[in-house]
Structure 1
Amino acid sequence: MSTATTSSTETNAAERSHSLLGDYSVLFKPRVSAMVLLTAAGGFYLGCLRTGISPFSMLLLHTMLGVAIVTCGSGALNQALERATDRMMPRTAARPMAQHRIGLAHGLILGFLLTFGGAAYLALYTNLLSGTLTLLTAVAYVTIYTPLKRITSLNTFIGAFPGALPPLIGWTAARGVIEWPGIALFAILFVWQFPHFMAIGWLYRADYKLAGIRVAATQDPIEDAARGTVAQALFYAVLMIPVALWPTFLHITGWPYAIAAFALSIYYLVATIRFASITKNPNDPENRKVARQLLRVSVIYLPLLLMAMALNAQGHLLLR
């Protein structure tokens, strides 16, 4: 074989390898995985303050690695189930399983191995409770939430349960038990999701409608869709205020956090009130702007809230 041929073969192999790695990156939903890891790390950090374990110990590495593996696995299984609907929506049509760049068997085997392997890793290197909770999260996301997306708009509420479990998983990885502070973290993430998802639903309403995905925003007529979407977003944005303050009353944090949480939650509510303007003229293309603004605020809100919580954590007062 000539040098030129060898070089060409190696280049093609490298391109295929790069393409597969790129497809895996999409398959594993890196943005979703990053948010899962952030919230799990927050729960772990707060739980460690009570145990005396360093938040930056090997246990953190094991927790983050196990959660990341399971999250990647559930992302692959989700896309295996949704490959047909993904092809119908412009924003997901290029996904690797939708385009058959990754076959169904390939995606399923990879997804199952990562999901169950990651849960087993967590059970072995953290504790059985954390491994079990993580596996239940993945199973609920893939086998309950994902199929329900084409059946009922209640999928948003049901899907919020597995979506809110990562900080509780982080807490149990550090503490080994489910406790009220961990439940408070679960509640924060549970409530936060609704204005966030209502904004996404309205922003991609046309895509979801095309694919037959049932969310509040895809109801008919569009006036009912706007009212239903706004009602849910406003209800949970208001509820976010007391829920965000709950950690202070459980002595997880001090009053500086409470002030920051209140201010951030009011900011989240104001963005949601702006979003409510979609009910005036639901067909107005400008509504996408206020939906996108709410989405941006939601993505900023959660990391800032967790940062405030971490900076003002009162580990010595936990559970007293």
Structure 2
Amino acid sequence: MGGGHSQASKVAVVSRSADPRADVDYLFLQVGNGISAEQTCGDILAGVGPFAVERGLVEDPGRVGRAGRAGGAGTVGRAAGSAGRAAARAGEVARVRVRMVNVGATATVHVPLEGGRPVCAGDIGIDGAPDSGARVLVEFHDLPAMLQESVPTSLPASLPTGRIVDDLGGVPATLIGNGVPIVVIAAKSVGVTGHESPVRLEYDERLRDRIRSLRLLAGELMGLGDVGEKAVPEVCLVAPPVDDGDLCIRMVLPGCGRSAAGTDSRTGARDRITVYRGLGMLAAAAIGAAAATPGSVAAEMVHRSSAALRLEHPSGRVDVMPAPLSGRPAIITTARLMLDGHAFPNPAGPTRAT
């Protein structure tokens, strides 16, 4: 289903939770050159709530309320604009408490119901994703603590180094851990405009090598160790906006399964970087936090005229209400059923000749 692209090749493993804070546990697996469980994924999280209700994993499906708006700062896709910006039709909403196993944080997924089953149809759409679906609200409860186990205990997880700007071999960078580990750098500092298409950036060998070296430096500073074969941190190239946004971004990830030399650890071949076509929820929350921090690399690029921060990405734009680094963002997104079936993998053992 993912078409071989890392942004769409993801797996969620869901089970009942023994944690009193949660109804279900959600283990995220990134599929690429191997399988990585180094980070979680906010986009897939939106589907965990409806799945848990549909599969009967929620012990108390009667714990529902009326559709409404969560308080506090939040991140809202542009899909919530025009028809989608209208409030969802009032109805029952199941609040599914989810523990993100990869990072230990929790979230509540508000799932619209009809007749006790998740509603899939709706007019909420997201730039970079096809079609539309029902309104799903995701509240993150403890994003700033998601890195606490992987950074020095004396430093805040939202700013792992304790500094707003760090020097990565002469390149200024803001290292953010508010949601997902991200290295924010100005696109011009690595010789690109930040407005290029994903394909053009992916075939830029000089940029690939530069991003790889910057990630290695950032990983050590963030307390993540050698990140040569890890999926985190991601790199966000920021640039002035080109349309009606406030900040233009390109999310770059060399991917996991690569050696420190930037080659595929299985084949030894040089690999291209991956430039995301859209923008994930956790990344949007982290970039919003960076942009709201005076003196950060992102803040210096922002052309902002309202409370919302509009982030331009290759497939469109996302509106962010930046939360403080210690805040609790809520994100409006969507999820819908695409396929329901069974997979039958080959059993372990030697392959038989036919």
TM-score bracket, normalised by the shorter chain, equals under 0.3
Calculate the TM-score normalised by the size of structure 2: 0.26
Q: Considering only CA atoms, is the larger Rg found in Structure 1 or Structure 2?
A: 1
More strand by share: 2
